[in-house]
């Protein structure tokens, strides 16, 4: 029986909160399992350091992801090499799995445009801030891939709030009509800033919205990285090579929680109580997988310590790299608006340089 043949409100599970196996464990070797653990630790540690950098005034507003590592890492690990992710603005952990250097993410939130330029060999779209607006892009990208006979799969990330947006509906609808190899991955963390999931829709689940578009939808325990891996792998496989009678797209509703604020500018104590946070912290994806891997003899204290050290060094190096990048030259303001700089923009740039030559950068930056 296919993983897709289940009730919409019956989330796929593999590990329970204690790391006990409660479902079929996906076929992953030891290195892959440790890889998921390490990448979640990387995402968590990165997140903690990033929030701290913001608090210290070393970085601008930042959207934390802690609690959502299982969904991000589990899903991104399930992609093939030529597949793409189309993220919103919180999927740093998924992007790292795809090969985005963490210093890129830091640079972006430090206000450097280069942070939104994924390296050529990283198959990730740039961050999309307007909610759900990236959903049609993932459909268009997948559509192009299908038209060219490549069938690379496009995994689109968005939150529960995004499912109320028109672009979510329009994107899913096009994906169904044109049967594009798209996986719609909803990070349902329960809150769209302060608005709870119940305020987004009277639909009993988000997963069931897929039915109206003619393709599969299912829930998964988004705090269980192995369950997330399992459903994403199945969805990716179906997108690439659908069996008779099923459409390529899938809507995955990954039920999860953000432990922290919406962004560093947000105070979640205003709208949710500590009991709820405590309840969800018990479902933390990282200790859950760690317990399982220890029980399987795959992890022990030494290996965990080595991973911790590796992750800490990677993040420290990324911070050092990002902070050593100087402010870009003002030319960067203009150079990517068009393929060729129009003469009017050349003239506007000249205004900047003339003032600079006369008064230095103080003319712009103040004292």
List of residues contacting other proteins (CB under 8 A): 86, 113-114, 116-118, 120, 125-126, 128-130, 133, 135-145, 147, 154, 166-167, 170-171, 173-174, 177-178, 336-339, 342-344
Residues 6 or more apart whose Cβ sits within 8 Å of residue 273: none
Q: Which is nearer to other proteins, 7 or 350 (CB)?
A: 350
Smallest CA-to-CA distance from 2 within 182, 253, 243 is with: 243
Given the residues 55, 271, 327, 336, the one annotated as active site: 271
Question: Minimum distance from CB of 332 to other proteins (Å)?
Answer: 8
Residue of 45, 49, 258, 288 with catalytic role: 258
Measured between alpha carbons, how far is 237 from 239 in angstroms, rounded to an integer? Answer: 5
Give the whole-angstrom CA distance, residue 86 versus residue 65: 17
Q: How far is the CB of 231 from other proteins (least distance, A)?
A: 23
Cβ proximity to other proteins: between 133 and 208 the closer is 133
Closest approach of Cβ 325 to other proteins, in Å?
13
State yes or no: is 262 an active-site residue.
yes
Closest distance to other proteins from the beta carbon of 68 (Å): 23
If the CB atoms of residues 168 and 280 are measured against other proteins, the closer one turns out to be 168
Q: Which residues pair with 156 in a beta bridge?
A: 86, 184
Q: Would strands 182-188 and 250-255 be described as parallel, antiparallel, or unpaired?
A: parallel
Q: Which is nearer to other proteins, 12 or 139 (CB)?
A: 139
Whether 89 is catalytic is: no
- The Cα 4–Cα 8 span in angstroms is 9
| Closest to other proteins by CB, 143 or 229 | 143
Q: Is 281 buried (19+), middle (13-18) or exposed (0-12) by CB count in 10 A?
A: middle
CB of 149 to other proteins, least distance (A): 11
| Closer to other proteins by Cβ: residue 12 or 156 | 156
Q: Kindly state the smallest distance separating residue 306's Cβ from other proteins, in Å.
A: 34
The DSSP bridge partners found for residue 188 are 255
Count of alpha carbons within 13 angstroms of residue 53, beta-carbon side: 26
- Residue from 219, 208, 209 nearest 169 by CA: 209
Distance CA 258, CA 289 (A): 18
The residue from 262, 288, 292, 314 that is catalytic is 262
**Torsion angle of the four alpha carbons 43, 48, 50, 52, in this order, in degrees rounded to the nearest 10:** -170
| Residues annotated as catalytic (active site), given as ranges | 258, 262, 271
């Amino acid at each position: 029986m296919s993983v897709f043949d289940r009730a919409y409100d019956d989330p796929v599970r593999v590990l329970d909160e204690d790391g006990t196996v409660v479902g079929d464990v996906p076929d992953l070797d030891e290195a892959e399992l440790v890889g998921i653990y390490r990448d979640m630790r990387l995402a968590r540690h990165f997140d903690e350091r990033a929030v701290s950098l913001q608090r210290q005034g070393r970085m601008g507003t930042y959207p934390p992801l802690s609690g959502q590592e299982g969904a991000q890492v589990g899903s991104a690990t399930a992609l093939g090499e030529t597949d793409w992710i189309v993220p919103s603005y919180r999927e740093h952990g998924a992007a790292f799995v795809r090969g985005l250097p963490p210093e890129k993410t830091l640079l972006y939130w430090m206000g450097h445009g280069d942070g939104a330029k994924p390296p050529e060999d990283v198959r990730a779209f740039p961050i999309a801030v307007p909610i759900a607006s990236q959903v049609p892009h993932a459909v268009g990208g997948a559509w192009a891939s299908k038209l060219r006979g490549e069938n690379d799969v496009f995994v689109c990330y968005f939150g529960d709030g995004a499912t109320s947006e028109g672009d979510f509906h329009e994107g899913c609808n096009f994906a169904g009509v044109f049967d594009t190899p798209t996986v719609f991955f909803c990070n349902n963390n329960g809150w769209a800033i302060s608005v709870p999931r119940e305020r987004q829709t009277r639909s009993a689940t988000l997963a069931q919205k897929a039915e109206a578009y003619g393709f599969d939808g299912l829930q998964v325990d988004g705090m269980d990285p192995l369950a997330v891996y399992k459903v994403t792998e199945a969805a990716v496989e179906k997108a690439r090579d659908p069996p008779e009678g099923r459409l390529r797209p899938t809507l995955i509703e990954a039920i999860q929680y953000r432990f922290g604020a919406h962004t560093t500018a947000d105070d979640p104590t205003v709208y949710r109580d500590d009991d709820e946070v405590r309840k969800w912290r018990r479902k933390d994806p990282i200790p859950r997988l760690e317990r399982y891997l220890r029980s399987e003899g795959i992890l022990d204290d030494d290996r965990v310590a080595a991973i911790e050290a590796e992750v800490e060094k990677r993040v420290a190096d990324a911070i050092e790299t990002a902070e050593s990048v100087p402010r870009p030259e003002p030319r960067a303001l203009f150079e990517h608006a068009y393929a060729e700089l129009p003469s009017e923009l050349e003239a506007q740039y000249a205004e900047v340089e003339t003032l600079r030559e006369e008064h230095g950068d103080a003319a712009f930056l103040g004292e």
